[in-house]
Amino acid sequence: MRISRISKLQTVTYLLLAFALLVAASNVPAIHADDQAQAVPSVGSMAPDFTLPSQEGTPISLHSFRGKWVVLYFYPKDQTPGCTIEAHAFQRDQAQYDAKNAVVVGVSVDTVESHKEWCAKDGMNFKMLADTDKKVVALYGSTMTIPQAPQLGTVAARNTFIVDPSGKIVKEFLKVNPTGHSEDVLAALADLQKAGGR
């Protein structure tokens, strides 16, 4: 009788332990490959190549800009306040980028149609690329979600990379403040070109 009671207590204890482990295991979130943000490519590494459609619908490859400096900037969403400030400044400074043998290339997860509409509305003529599959933003470690707008899902984080004419990343701006950003990029380009003698 006594052995039976001990046996029952042990069985109940094991069942409770097994139940607790089962509950704990079911609360562990499943990890998906796209949940694991890739690291931002490091300064000094070759910029990961890609091909994406522009606002004109034509595919643009990063390697097609070899021989030029590239300001590759990622931004969250077309026609939103911060992104508009940033894009307008890049547009305003186009002549200065041209003088530095530099091109500005914007990337977001918006569609070609969204880019086309925004560029036409706001008079922007530099390349805006549509990464609707979100592969390039992941490749550059530039993904985020906006807590205030979870319905948007994953969007591009506001990061900028300066790529030199050989295709190497030579400067990074992470978690950019859009106000004054173009001026900061132009200053960095001037310093890099002076240091490199180009």
Helix (H, G, I), strand (E, B) or coil at 159: coil
Known catalytic residue at 83:
yes
Cα–chain-centroid distance for residue 51? 15
CA distances, 75 to each of 11, 40, 72 (Å): 58, 15, 10
Beta-carbon contacts of 11 under 8 Å, excluding residues fewer than 6 positions away, are none
127 CB neighbour count, 10 Å cutoff:
21
Catalytic residue among 52, 83, 89, 162: 83
List the end-to-end C-alpha distance of the chain, in Å, as a whole number. 92
Taking Cα atoms as reference points, which of 114, 105, 87, 116 lies closest to residue 51?
A: 105
Which residues are identified as catalytic? 83
